[in-house]
Amino acid sequence: MDTQIANLIASELERQRNGFELIASENFTSKQVLDAMGSCLTNKYAEGYPGKRYYGGCEVVDVIEQLAIDRVCALFGAEYANVQPHSGAQANAAVFLGLLNPGDAILGFELAHGGHLSHGSPVNFSGKVYDAHFYGVEEDSGIIDMDKVAEIAQKVRPKLIICGASAYSRDWDYIRFRQIADEVGAILLGDISHPAGLIAADLLNDPLPHCHIVTSTTHKTLRGPRGGIILMGKDFINPWGRTTKKGDPIMMSTILNSAVFPGMQGGPLEHVIAAKAVAFYEAAQDEYKKYASQVIKNAKSMATALVQKGYNIISGGTDNHLMLIDLRSKYPDVSGKEAENALVKAHITVNKNMVPFDSRTPLTTSGIRVGTAALTSRGLVEDDFEMIVDWIDYVIQNRNDETSIQVMQERVQQFMKNFPLY
């Protein structure tokens, strides 16, 4: 029996139970999502799609995958869904593969301003294979200036424009993005990996009517298993006039399905797809809508408390579940890395993050990113997040004092005993 891994899983569970989990891209799934992930479905090969598989014995997983598709379409008001991408980056890669040729121009949100690696970063396939260009935020406001996006799009004439981010606390103007995309003949991709759950709960702007294609992860605010999805509000005829041998137009759903499999992936992870289906069911319940609304209330409470303490939040506040804190105004000598290290010792888990116009490197950074989705799942409310800000500030102030950090670690652990996990 492998006790080594079993013991490590037990240690990780203890870590998750005892700390303040503030990483904006993490959450705690329900027990039934975990059970689906850890089920016998992991044993099944099912290359292909429901009803059109390359393996026998797919009658059960066909029903599961179709349920996942139907549930996510109902949740987001989509006409098309592919639930097979193994991650958000894989979902984006499949969209690029289906839509673009190597060397085509793409326009995405600058990584250092809060964008994502898979939106054209030079260290990622998306920046190596395609001709990537970027828009960013304004230095004074921390907000995207849509007129500047339009200007860059006119100059670059991208085939694909991507809206969406990993660390942008404001909502997205999908209507204006679509206007800009139409003006330059680009396809608009909305990557809603971070706010997906808040969009599903109708608390943020809806990208589905405006973006040609939407991708997302399923494990952030959506609170499902780790994985990706591709959606379309409305399936449309491919804009390149590609036709079948019979001369019929090829729909984008066909192009995207082929891009995921066999283009990008082999066998789908049916155990993860089952867990996605469970999460989509959960996200359609009233209880989830209350949760999502509390996530935003908690983020606003945290942002207000941070600003009151003199921290600079990029864009001055938040519309969603996260915020990016530029430490330079309050602690010019403390890097994001130092702050992250001190906080992690106190069981307060955050990640260092570049801030727009950062003077430090990506491995050091001047900022940290925090989010409220995970701790809201544990049951914390606005006042708790005000207290967390006090504790964060205490740790950063006392970052070189091991005794103070140890005291805080014990307080965090004690506090989280009030909010049992699994």
Nearer to ligand DSN, 25 or 366 (CB): 25
Q: Minimum CB separation from ligand DSN for residue 6, in Å?
A: 27
Nearest alpha-carbon partner for 18 in 329, 332, 384, 419: 419
Q: Minimum CB separation from ligand DSN for residue 253, in Å?
A: 26
Q: Minimum CB separation from ligand DSN for residue 320, in Å?
A: 12
Catalytic residues: 45, 47, 191, 217, 220, 226
Q: Minimum CB separation from ligand DSN for residue 187, in Å?
A: 22
Nearer to ligand DSN, 178 or 352 (CB): 352
Q: Minimum CB separation from ligand DSN for residue 116, in Å?
A: 5
Nearer to ligand DSN, 25 or 169 (CB): 25
Nearer to ligand DSN, 116 or 170 (CB): 116
Question: In Å, how far from its chain's centre is CA 36?
Answer: 21
Q: Which residue is nearest to ligand DSN (CB)?
A: 25
Question: Interface residues with ligand DSN (CB under 6 A)?
Answer: 25, 116, 166
Q: Minimum CB separation from ligand DSN for residue 25, in Å?
A: 3
3-state secondary structure the chain: CCHHHHHHHHHHHHHHHHCEECCCCCCCCCHHHHHHHCCHHHHCCCCEECCEECCCCCHHHHHHHHHHHHHHHHHHCCCEEECCCCCHHHHHHHHHHHHCCCCCEEEEECHHHCCCHHHCCCCCHHHHHCEEEEECECCCCCCECHHHHHHHHHHHCCCEEEECCCCCCCCCCHHHHHHHHHHHCCEEEEECCCCHHHHHCCCCCCCCCCCCEEEEECCCCCCCCCCEEEEECCCCECCCCCECCCCCECEHHHHHHHHHHHHHCCCCCHHHHHHHHHHHHHHCCHHHHHHHHHHHHHHHHHHHHHHHCCCEEHHHCCCCCEEEEEHHHCCCCCCHHHHHHHHHHCCEECEEECCCCCCCCCCCCCEEEEECHHHHHHCCCHHHHHHHHHHHHHHHHCCCCHHHHHHHHHHHHHHHCCCCCC
Q: Minimum CB separation from ligand DSN for residue 196, in Å?
A: 12
Exposure letters 250-260 (e unless 16+ CB within 10 A, then b): ebbbbbbbebb
Q: Minimum CB separation from ligand DSN for residue 123, in Å?
A: 13
Nearer to ligand DSN, 25 or 218 (CB): 25
217, 193 Cβ separation under 8 angstroms: yes
Nearer to ligand DSN, 92 or 205 (CB): 92
Nearest alpha-carbon partner for 322 in 335, 331, 313, 330: 313
Nearer to ligand DSN, 119 or 347 (CB): 119
Phi, psi (deg, nearest 5) at residue 318? -145, 145
Nearer to ligand DSN, 71 or 219 (CB): 219
